[in-house]
């Protein structure tokens, strides 16, 4: 069972988590993975960035806030003096480590990927002992364990990959004896360590991935991701009012949704389960009586009208165009374009090419847009000078909308209906891409229209609650907008990430 940031957001949330674990542990063996408390990883990364800039004051303020937040929860959850003291000592040691890491960064004015990982890992290292102590206070024998002991990864800081053979060995050796004794292990999500013991992180939102890595390593019967929504919904409920919970979807559908920005799952979450076919559940910590979504190798097969099962969007992306009439004569433009993006490790989320080769467009994350454009301009410098390639440009204000459903391939008219729905809302479609698997169709639209495009498409394919009236949708949606969104209601993935951490 994995509990996300909002699920361990404060003492009253942790009480709910404890109840869920307590009940489940009476029925079967449970291993718990926890995220940092909501908002903590963002703050730690801010502290790391401020340290690099040499700003002592904001770093001190952040650590003071974090200390208060964790102490308040510890006080509310753990009442026995001895238990509270030992939790306090463990937390203090972690805060001291954070202090040393930031002081070192301030002195050097350099934030290495390794130091950044170590600083951003502190949240999980604090929440695991907190949850374990809360469990103990409610009579559930538990032990907090740092995943650096168990998860062996490569040294790719910020996006580490597990070495499953070693990870499996260590997880089984360390956790099986605990389970045999009825002890509930509480592991830190998000982190691991290289074989040499250097701490790594799996990437933002990576605790989901930690849970399935662990599920696979332990041959678990099922993995449950407990979060703050009822399951995988037909669209992000913060953007589309009336989005419905999907009872069952396939691994591929879930992976596609995650890839195209559905924050409810980290994009790599399904990978460790593919071989075993282990079911993955998404359930609501705050409404544990609801069934949630079951993610299985083949899904239920049933989908709404039109084969579309769910929608998703990514807001913080940019569209890069390599184009011009002269491109017809330039050799291997496509190959050179993708070689360039691969060299700078820019993940291309979507690409399309017009038939005469005179326009290739790529969508990459906003953070990488300028670097990608510079690299492409270097690659095509000679061709640009001879005006064979007329331009390498980018539009920073776009979004991707993706339609997902295993059965879309067999259904005609999906693209036409989407065009119609978007046209009625006066949303321009800038580019479109359909994978050969037929499991997703993605559209690039102006970012300012992202939400309207989602709402219109959601309605067109009858994905939501029937009674929702379109004007109500728009009105209620504003309430659903997280505080950090810009005043005009425009939303992007960065806002979403910042709002939920």
In 338-469, DSSP assigns E strands to: 350-353, 359-365, 391-404, 431-434, 440-446
The residues facing 166 across adjacent strands are: none
- The residue assigned the tokens 């662990």 is 214
CB nearer to ligand ADP: give 284 or 321. Answer: 284
| Cβ–Cβ under 8 Å, residues 403 and 378 | no
What are the structure tokens assigned to 217, written together? 């390593």
Within 10 Å of residue 170's Cβ, how many Cβ atoms?
Answer: 16
DSSP 3-state of 445: strand
Using CB under 5 A, list all residues that contact Mg ion.
4, 205
Q: Rounded to whole angstroms, how far apart are CA atoms 153 and 151?
A: 6
Q: Cβ 237 to ligand ADP, closest distance in Å?
A: 6
Question: What are the angstrom distances between the C-alpha of 222 and each of 28, 154, 246, 264, 295?
Answer: 11, 26, 18, 18, 10
Q: Rounded to whole angstroms, how far apart are CA atoms 124 and 129?
A: 9
CB nearer to Mg ion: give 20 or 453. Answer: 20
Q: How are the residues of the chain apportioned to helix, strand and coil, as percentages rounded to the nearest 5?
A: 45, 20, 35
350 binds, among Mg ion, ligand ASP, ligand ADP, none (CB under 5 to 8 A by kind): none
Residues 304-323 that bind ligand ADP (CB under 6 A): 310, 312
What are the structure tokens assigned to 176, written together? 């099986």
CB nearer to Mg ion: give 205 or 267. Answer: 205
The residues facing 365 across adjacent strands are: 317
123 binds, among ligand ADP, Mg ion, ligand ASP, none (CB under 5 to 8 A by kind): ligand ASP
CB nearer to ligand ASP: give 189 or 323. Answer: 189
Residues 208-237 that bind ligand ADP (CB under 6 A): 227-229, 232-233, 235-237
If residue 34 lies in a helix (H) or strand (E), which one and from where to where? strand 32-34
191 binds, among Mg ion, ligand ADP, ligand ASP, none (CB under 5 to 8 A by kind): none
Q: Cβ 470 to ligand ASP, closest distance in Å?
A: 34
Q: Provide the mask over 15-54, with x wherever binding to ligand ADP is found by CB under 6 A and - wherever it is not.
A: --------------------x-------------------
Q: Rounded to whole angstroms, how far apart are CA atoms 13 and 18?
A: 9
Q: Rounded to whole angstroms, how far apart are CA atoms 244 and 292?
A: 11
Q: Cβ 246 to ligand ADP, closest distance in Å?
A: 8
Q: Cβ 90 to ligand ADP, closest distance in Å?
A: 23
CB nearer to ligand ASP: give 4 or 242. Answer: 4
Number of residues that bind ligand ADP (CB under 6 A): 22
Residues 421-450 that bind ligand ADP (CB under 6 A): none
Residue nearest to Mg ion (CB): 205
Q: Interface with ligand ASP includes 250 (CB under 6 A)?
A: no
252, 263, 417, 447: residue in contact with ligand ADP (rule CB under 6 A): 263
Q: Cβ 205 to Mg ion, closest distance in Å?
A: 4
Q: Interface with ligand ASP includes 501 (CB under 6 A)?
A: yes
- The residues, ordered by sequence, that sit 6+ positions from 100 with a Cβ below 8 Å of its Cβ are none
Residue nearest to ligand ADP (CB): 4
1, 7, 106, 119: residue in contact with ligand ADP (rule CB under 6 A): 7
Q: Interface with ligand ADP includes 463 (CB under 6 A)?
A: no
| Cβ–Cβ under 8 Å, residues 330 and 376 | no
- The residue assigned the tokens 């799952």 is 265
Q: Let me know how long the chain is.
A: 501
9, 162, 192, 205: residue in contact with ligand ASP (rule CB under 6 A): 205
Pairing, β 280-284 against β 310-323: unpaired
Q: Which positions touch ligand ASP (CB under 6 A)?
A: 4-5, 35-36, 41, 123, 189-190, 204-207, 501
Residues that bind ligand ADP (CB under 6 A): 4-7, 35, 205, 227-229, 232-233, 235-238, 257, 262-264, 310, 312, 500
């Amino acid at each position: 069972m994995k509990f996300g940031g909002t699920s361990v957001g404060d003492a009253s949330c942790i009480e709910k988590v404890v109840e869920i674990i307590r009940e489940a542990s009476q029925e079967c063996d449970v291993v718990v993975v926890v995220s940092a408390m909501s908002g903590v990883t963002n703050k730690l990364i801010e502290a790391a960035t401020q340290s690099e800039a040499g700003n002592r004051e904001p770093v001190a303020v952040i650590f003071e806030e974090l200390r208060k937040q964790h102490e308040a929860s510890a006080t509310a959850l753990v009442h026995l003096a001895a238990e509270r003291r030992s939790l306090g000592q463990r937390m203090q040691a972690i805060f001291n480590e954070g202090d040393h890491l930031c002081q070192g960064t301030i002195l050097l004015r350099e934030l290495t990927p390794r130091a950044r990982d170590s600083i951003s890992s502190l949240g999980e290292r604090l929440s695991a002992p907190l949850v374990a102590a809360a469990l103990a206070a409610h009579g559930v024998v538990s032990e907090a364990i740092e995943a650096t002991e168990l998860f062996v990864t490569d040294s790719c800081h910020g996006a580490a990959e597990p070495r499953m053979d070693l990870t499996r060995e260590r997880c089984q050796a360390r956790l099986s004896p605990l389970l045999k004794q009825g002890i509930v292990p509480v592991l830190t999500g998000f982190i691991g360590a290289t074989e040499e013991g250097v701490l790594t992180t799996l990437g933002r939102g990576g605790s989901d991935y930690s849970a399935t890595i662990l599920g696979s390593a332990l041959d678990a019967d099922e993995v449950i991701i407990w979060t703050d929504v009822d399951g995988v919904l037909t669209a992000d409920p913060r953007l589309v009012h009336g989005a419905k919970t999907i009872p069952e979807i396939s691994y591929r559908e879930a992976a596609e949704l995650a890839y195209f920005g559905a924050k409810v799952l980290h994009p790599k979450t399904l990978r460790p389960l593919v071989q075993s076919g282990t079911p993955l559940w998404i359930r609501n910590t705050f409404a544990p009586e609801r069934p949630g979504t079951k993610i299985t190798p083949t899904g239920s097969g049933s989908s709404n009208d039109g084969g579309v099962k769910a929608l998703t969007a990514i807001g913080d992306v940019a569209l890069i165009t390599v184009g011009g009439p002269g491109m017809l004569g330039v050799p291997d433009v496509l190959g050179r374009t993708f070689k360039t993006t691969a060299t700078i490790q820019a993940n291309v989320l979507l690409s399309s090419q017009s038939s005469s080769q005179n326009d290739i467009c790529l969508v990459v994350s906003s953070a990488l847009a300028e670097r990608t454009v510079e690299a492409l301009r270097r690659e095509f410098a000679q061709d640009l000078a001879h005006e064979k390639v007329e331009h390498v440009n980018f539009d920073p204000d776009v979004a991707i909308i993706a339609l997902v459903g295993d059965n879309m391939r067999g259904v005609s008219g999906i693209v036409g209906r989407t065009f119609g729905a978007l046209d009625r809302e006066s949303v321009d479609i800038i580019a479109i891409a359909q994978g050969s698997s037929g499991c997703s169709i993605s559209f690039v639209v102006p970012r300012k229209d992202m939400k309207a495009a989602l709402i219109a498409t959601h309605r067109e394919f009858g994905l939501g609650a029937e009674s929702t009236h379109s004007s109500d949708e728009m009105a209620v949606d504003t309430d659903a907008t997280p505080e950090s969104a810009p005043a005009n209601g425009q939303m992007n993935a960065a806002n979403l990430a910042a709002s939920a951490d």
